[in-house]
Amino acid sequence: MSTIVLRPSLAAWSRIASGIALGLALTLAPAVSRAEGAPAPAPSASPSGPGIATGSSASNSSPGQQAPPSHPIGHLPIIDVSPVFTQPLDYSNSSQLQGYQPLDVNATIRIPVTRDFSLIFDRVIGGTLDVPLQTQIVPGVGSVSPGVTRDIVLFYHGTYVVKKYLTIDAGDAFRHRAYNAGDISGANGVSGAPFPASYSSTEAHWAYLGATYATHPIKELGNTNFFFTLQGQEQNVDHHVGLLCSPGPNIGVGTCTAALALSGPPYVDLSIDEDPHQNKYYTSQQTVGLTIPFDAKRSATLTVQDGWGALSWYENAAFPYSYSGIEQAVLAKRFNSTFTLSLRARQYFQHTQGEPFPSPDIIHLGAVDVIGTFHLDTNTLF
With respect to residue 129, please indicate whether it lies within any of the assigned structural domains.
yes
The span from the CA of 207 to the CA of 157, in Å, is 9
- The phi, psi pair for 129, rounded to 5°, reads -75, -15
pTM of the model: 0.75
What is the domain count for the chain? 1
Query: In terms of residue numbers, what domain contains 208?
Result: 10-239+279-381
Q: Are 174 and 152 in contact (CB under 8 A)?
A: no
- Tens of pLDDT, residue by residue over 235-292, are 887 655 666 677 766 666 556 777 777 777 766 666 666 667 777 889 999 999 999 9
- Tens of pLDDT, residue by residue over 88-129, are 987 877 888 888 889 999 999 999 999 999 999 999 988 788
With respect to residue 258, please indicate whether it lies within any of the assigned structural domains.
no
- Provide the pLDDT confidence category of residue 12 given band limits of 50, 70 and 90: very low
The span from the CA of 204 to the CA of 254, in Å, is 20
With respect to residue 145, please indicate whether it lies within any of the assigned structural domains.
yes
With respect to residue 252, please indicate whether it lies within any of the assigned structural domains.
no
The span from the CA of 353 to the CA of 217, in Å, is 39
The CATH number of the domain holding residue 179 is: 2.40.160.40
With respect to residue 246, please indicate whether it lies within any of the assigned structural domains.
no
With respect to residue 359, please indicate whether it lies within any of the assigned structural domains.
yes
- The gap between the terminal CA atoms of the chain, to the nearest Å, is 59
Q: Are 40 and 379 in contact (CB under 8 A)?
A: no
With respect to residue 262, please indicate whether it lies within any of the assigned structural domains.
no
With respect to residue 357, please indicate whether it lies within any of the assigned structural domains.
yes
